[in-house]
Chains A and B, each alone.
Chain A
Amino acid sequence: MDRTLLNSILKKVEKPSRYTGGELNMRVKDLSAPDGGKLCRFALCFPDVYEIGMSHLGSRIIYNVLNERDDTYCERAYAPWFDMEDELRKNGLPIYSLETGTPLGEFDVIGFSLLYEMCYTNILTVLDLAGVPFRSRDRREEAPLIIAGGPCVCNPEPVADIMDALVFGDGEEVMNEFMDVYTDWKRTGGKKAELLKRLSRIKGVYVPGYYSAEYDDNGNFGRLVKLDPDAPDSIERRIVEDLDAAQYTGKLVVPYMSIVHDRVALEIFRGCTRGCRFCQAGFIYRPVREREMSTVIKQTDESLDCTGYDEISLFSLSSGDYSHIHELVPLILDRYEKDRVSVSLPSLRIDSFLKDDLEKIQKVRKTGLTFAPEAGTQRLRDVINKGVTEEDLLRSVHDAFVAGWHGVKLYFMIGLPTETDEDVLGIAELARKVSREFYSMPKELRGKGLRCTVSASTFVPKPFTPFQWEPQIEVSEVLRRQALLRQALKGIRGVEFSCHFSETSRLEAAFARGDRRLSEVLISAYEHGARLDSWDEHFNKPAWEAAFAENGLTVEQYANRRIGTDEPLAWQHMDAIVCMDYLKREHEKAYDEVTTRDCRKGCNGCFGRRSAVICRGRTEVSE
């Protein structure tokens, strides 16, 4: 790497500390392995900009897991912002790792974290700047192994032609098994085909090259054919059984620039028992596994000590559901009160009874409060199995207002299955009641002025949810419903409206339920200039339109089609453990407007025959 040249570039680009590394607690290793061989060089790449990637808990765990190994050095890389990509190209420089400034093309393995579909073109930016061919079949023996993990792997097909292998589920254990095989293969110096064969025998590892897809006469996905008789029929999601024994983030790298989640994030449990029917995370992280309070405290101590952060977030999909939440919050607040550490609870449900906890949190620092009723009427909330009521919401906001908050965010979705105009207008009604709740309080009891943000995103059907067969509503209809809601919210005191641009939601829907043909669409879109698509202001619509057209496909056939519950699904070879029969039952219940109980109150059988084995001991009734 030409350091002088790089430094002159860094002076020109926005936020140069995205690209410099050298942060506190960054791992530094001697590049020769203890047995005299060479370390396996692993580039862990989050395909979005630094401040987003550094906020992702999962990659920070994997960074620690890999670097705890003596035979592996894991370094980080992120997608460059537009200015940096231009400068690297103009100056003929490759994308490089933050730890040692090594060009990415020189690594043994490049592993991508796939957190959302709209980051896929950034994978190509990174590969392109690393000089690595996009399609796995075009890569030579000496090219790095290209792999991916993360929640999007539950439908890996849109990136199937790009990835050599994908890892499905919790990464803590399987990545060690993966590296055991990799380092052993590297020592013996075999062909890549042998490596892939050995990797495909690890539970949870998917090698897409062993399969080929067929399509039906209507141009829809037909089936996946095995090209190798030894390849597994289905890929079972990996689950870490014991979160107390599992490795966590260890010594957190402390960024210089401010990142999106700039605090210690401690995962208090994984999984969610609620079963909201639109929520992919609610299904693909099952079963619920809690961390003991003592482990949480120990890890909090270690994380605060080595970082100097003054805020921790008790992280999970629904933090109010943690069994010991009412003990944990005061315990942590008391423990760090003198150090002025504040606590935040993301993903609070509005039916969690947290009044006292909120008051205590407020004592240290005011953090934002977000509530997610998701839908405007009780009928629709029953359809999606949200299981919260208007009373829950009004009680929660009342408690928050009493505790001194005057800013709340209300999060909704537009376009949920069975939604009518009445449901859309119900959102405005709910916002009106929240506003009334605030202004009906005596002035001396409430904050100065209400700031209630109503945010409405567009529903995206996702694999492994009961709504995976549902179409997304057409763009024109999204826009009409957004306008309807905007109009209805006008004039409500203290309420403002923000809604997500619908083009990206549409593409997200296409890629979420996409098949293998989208790999080529992705590559075309990249070649037409699509980059950083999740940044609405940079969304390149013409590039995507051209890409779909060139490949004889349409966004609509993926995003807006109702898939029959008996039709083949492009992701059905992925075994998320939650079984299809259960999802079908939930789909029917949605249309019957019947809710399903929280499975902490009794098993609903989502794992089918495997419920007793994989979820044992977690389903006892707790009141």
Chain B
Amino acid sequence: MRLAVVFTKEDPVRFVSHLDVQRLFQRAFRRAKLPLAYSQGFNPHPLVSFATALSVGMTSRGEYLDVMLTEPMTTDAFRSAVESVLPDGVRIAEVFDLGESRKSLTSAMRSADYFAEVAFPGPADADGIKQAIADLLASEIVVMKKTKGGIKPVDIRPMVISMELVKTEGNTAFFSMTGKLTAEGGLNPETLLGELYEKLGTSGAARIERVRIELDREALK
């Protein structure tokens, strides 16, 4: 059977790379003594796949993975077996049965919401920031992106669904952003904030959290 797991990634594991998160779950599932299905070949590994990677340093309230089991197990039994063996900073938010579906979670992703806490060198001016956001979203946002063929200009504006200033407190401003996130790629909220800093003519240090990934569960059926 195939189960989907929604999990959090917070301190102290937010600096753990995607590759290491994959290993973290493989080991946790082994500790939980789950009936794991393994790949064939010389180096068999548990069949665990992740919907998408999270940038190192970002936290998340809901990342997705799926795991293949050789025996049926209820989502509750799965959850209680795994929860007790997870390291600090990783919790299970939800488990759901994928039934007979063989479609990848990645294929069902649509968008993601982000929350960012940004520290500026000086006081955060709410009106100025709001104006800068409006200016930024009014036209193309061309950034230089590293691709296989070298560094190319790319317009990330179509990736941005929304960007809002939530509030300011002293030198700190809080933003919420929604960007596209699909199998083809997605918005990098850090890049978008970088463009905003440029518009504001300042620098900023952001702490970003992925609040939610919009995943079309109907599309998985």
Contacts and interface: CB of A to CB of B under 8 A. Distances in A.
B42 A308 contact: no
B126 interface: no
Nearest to A101: B12
Contact of B27 (A21, A22, A254): A254
Contacts of A17: 15-17, 20
Contacts of A7: 57, 207
Contact of A22 (B13, B43, B44, B207): B13
Contacts of A22: 11-13, 87-89
Interface string B150-177: 0000000000000000000000000000
Interface string B6-41: 000001110111011001101111110000001000
Contacts of A256: 13, 16, 20, 23-24
Given A17-B15, A20-B12, A339 B30 contact: yes
Nearest to B207: A7
Classify the secondary structure of A's interface with B: loop
Given A309-B27, A310-B30, A23 B205 contact: no
Interface in B188-221: 205, 207
Contacts of B26: 308, 310
Contacts of A10: 15, 57
Contacts of A310: 26, 30
A305 B31 contact: yes
A598 to B, nearest CB: 36
A7 B31 CA distance: 30
A340 B26 CA distance: 12
B27 A365 contact: no
Contact of A257 (B20, B43, B87): B20
Contact of B43 (A306, A309, A365): A365
A459 to B, nearest CB: 36
Interface residues of A, number: 27
Given A16-B56, A16-B57, A23-B87, A308 B30 contact: yes
A306 B30 CA distance: 10
Interface in A252-282: 254, 256-258
Given A4-B119, A8-B205, A22-B87, A308 B16 contact: no
Interface string A231-268: 00000000000000000000000101110000000000
A10 B30 CA distance: 30
A191 B194 CA distance: 56
Given A17-B15, A257-B16, A308 B31 contact: yes
Contact of A11 (B17, B20, B30, B57): B57
Contacts of B15: 10, 16-17, 19-20
Interface residues of B, number: 29
A22 B24 CA distance: 13
B44 A340 contact: yes
A310 B27 CA distance: 8
A366 interface: yes
A308 B205 CA distance: 37
A403 to B, nearest CB: 13
Contact of A306 (B13, B16, B31, B119): B31
Interface in A279-331: 305-310
A24 interface: yes
Contacts of A21: 12
B37 to A, nearest CB: 11
Contacts of B23: 256, 258
A339 B27 CA distance: 12
Given A4-B119, A21-B12, A366-B42, A307 B27 contact: yes
A307 B31 contact: yes
A8 B29 CA distance: 32
Interface string B137-161: 0000000000000000000000000
Given A7-B207, A308-B26, A309-B27, A24 B42 contact: no
Contacts of B12: 20-22
Interface string A579-594: 0000000000000000
A7 B117 CA distance: 13
A21 B38 CA distance: 30
B115 to A, nearest CB: 16
A17, A22, A308, A366: most-surrounded residue (chain B CB, <10 A):
A308
B24 to A, nearest CB: 6
Interface in A556-611: none
Contact of A365 (B28, B29, B30, B42): B42
Interface string A1-19: 0001001101100001101
Interface in B91-143: 119
B110 to A, nearest CB: 28
A339 B20 CA distance: 21
B57 A308 contact: no
A11 B207 CA distance: 10
A406 to B, nearest CB: 12
Interface of A: 4, 7-8, 10-11, 16-17, 19-24, 254, 256-258, 305-310, 339-340, 365-366
Given A22-B12, A254-B27, A310-B26, 16 more contacts: A8-B205, A16-B15, A16-B56, A17-B17, A17-B20, A19-B15, A20-B12, A22-B88, A256-B23, A256-B24, A257-B16, A257-B17, A258-B23, A310-B30, A340-B38, A365-B42
Q: Which 7 A-B pairs have the closest CB atoms?
A: A22-B12, A308-B27, A16-B15, A308-B30, A308-B31, A24-B87, A256-B16
23 contacts: A4-B119, A4-B205, A7-B57, A8-B205, A10-B57, A20-B12, A20-B13, A20-B16, A22-B88, A22-B89, A24-B27, A256-B20, A256-B24, A258-B19, A305-B31, A306-B31, A307-B31, A308-B26, A308-B85, A310-B30, A340-B44, A366-B42, A366-B43
